């Protein structure tokens, strides 16, 4: 039986019916765009990565073609949230900015449950789970909740059947919960996220594009992995990604070159035999 969504897993701050924001209602400069995040002071507000597959979404909201043509690029997260969720969505971005004291960045590809933006993760293997392939990080994470319980074998079968991460999110509530879950869940999440990025060079490159900016997952309903309602959530998914990013950046740094050692001057070469003979002849001539 397919898991049933309870309506609580998506962002709650949707605009009321018939009041969905349109480009005409958004203040001038619909979607501020940056091709990259490099440069001191260049990022002046929270930004989110938009790949080329966001073209249709932009077109449906009347965003000018001159801006759409610049994708892929970093775009204003507050404007995107305004168009998605209304003023409450936009205000939440500024709430998180103040709470984190940062112009943070994010990419939909970094998320685990792709409820707002469709993204198909490449199946991957996790070292601790042998040769089994997982559809997504969410599949691995939710399935590991029941590891060591009598229902785990059934859970393994169920998580292989449904490919959508949202299905995995719901399935995680359907099986037994291991007694040590609270103490191991962060390590389980990191293990899954690492496997996801190890298996995809494109994701590694995208993560490196974020430079040294803070990574924040906007998730008002999640105080652990996201921002929480007031922007004070632990944001542990962002923390894990920053850790992986630091490791990738370290791999890119050139190895330190050894300091050249100054060699001592070589001793003078001994005189050749002919030179010795000339000296002896000179001495004999002098005596005569």
Give the whole-number percent of the chain exceeding pLDDT 70: 77
Mean pLDDT (the chain) is 85
pLDDT in tens, 153-162: 999 999 999 9
pLDDT band at 287 (very low <50, low <70, confident <90, very high): very low
pLDDT in tens, 209-224: 999 999 999 999 999 9
User: What one-character-per-residue DSSP string does 131-159 give?
Assistant: T-EES-HHHHHHHGGGTTSTTHHHHHHHH
Residue, of 216 and 277, whose pLDDT is higher: 216
Q: Model pTM?
A: 0.79
Residue, of 130 and 125, whose pLDDT is higher: 125
d(CA 90, CA 265): 71
Query: CB within 8 A of 178, min separation 6: which ones?
Result: 144, 145, 146, 147, 148, 149, 184
Q: Which among 74, 116, 106, 146 is positioned nearest to 227, based on CA atoms?
A: 106
Residue 101 region by backbone torsions, left for phi larger than 0, else alpha for psi between -120 and 50, else beta: left
pLDDT band at 127 (very low <50, low <70, confident <90, very high): confident
pLDDT in tens, 128-149: 667 899 999 999 999 999 999 9
Q: What is the pLDDT of residue 12?
A: 34
pLDDT at residue 22 tops 60: no
pLDDT band at 282 (very low <50, low <70, confident <90, very high): low
Q: What is the pLDDT of residue 26?
A: 46
Q: How many CB atoms lie within 10 A of CB 249?
A: 13
- Give yes or no for a contact between 151 and 184, defined as CB atoms under 8 angstroms apart: no
pLDDT band at 75 (very low <50, low <70, confident <90, very high): very high
Q: What is the pLDDT of residue 48?
A: 97
């Amino acid at each position: 039986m397919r898991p049933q969504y309870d309506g609580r897993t998506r962002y709650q701050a949707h605009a009321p019916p018939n009041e969905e924001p349109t480009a005409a209602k958004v203040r001038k400069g619909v979607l501020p765009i940056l091709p990259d995040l490099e440069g001191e002071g260049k990022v002046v507000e929270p930004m989110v990565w938009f790949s080329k597959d966001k073209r249709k979404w932009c077109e449906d909201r009347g965003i000018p073609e001159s801006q759409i043509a610049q994708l892929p690029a970093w775009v204003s997260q507050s404007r995107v949230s305004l168009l998605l969720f209304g003023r409450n969505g936009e205000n939440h971005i500024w709430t998180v900015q103040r709470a984190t004291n940062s112009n943070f960045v994010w990419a939909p590809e970094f998320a685990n449950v792709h409820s707002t933006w469709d993204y198909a993760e490449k199946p991957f293997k996790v070292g601790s789970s042998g040769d089994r392939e997982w559809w997504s990080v969410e599949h691995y994470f939710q399935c590991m909740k029941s590891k060591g319980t009598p229902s785990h074998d059934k859970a393994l079968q169920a998580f292989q059947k449904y490919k959508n991460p949202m299905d995995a999110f719901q399935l995680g509530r359907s099986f037994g919960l291991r007694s040590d879950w609270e103490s191991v869940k962060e390590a389980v999440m990191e293990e899954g996220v690492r496997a996801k990025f190890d298996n995809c060079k494109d994701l590694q490159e995208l993560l490196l594009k974020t430079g040294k900016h803070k990574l924040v997952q906007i998730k008002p309903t999640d105080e652990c992995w996201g921002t929480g309602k007031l922007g004070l959530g632990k944001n542990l998914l962002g923390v894990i990604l920053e850790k992986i990013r630091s490791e990738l950046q370290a791999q890119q740094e050139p190895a330190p070159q050894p300091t050249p050692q100054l060699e001592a001057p070589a001793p003078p070469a001994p005189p050749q035999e002919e030179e010795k003979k000339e000296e002896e002849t000179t001495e004999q001539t002098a005596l005569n």
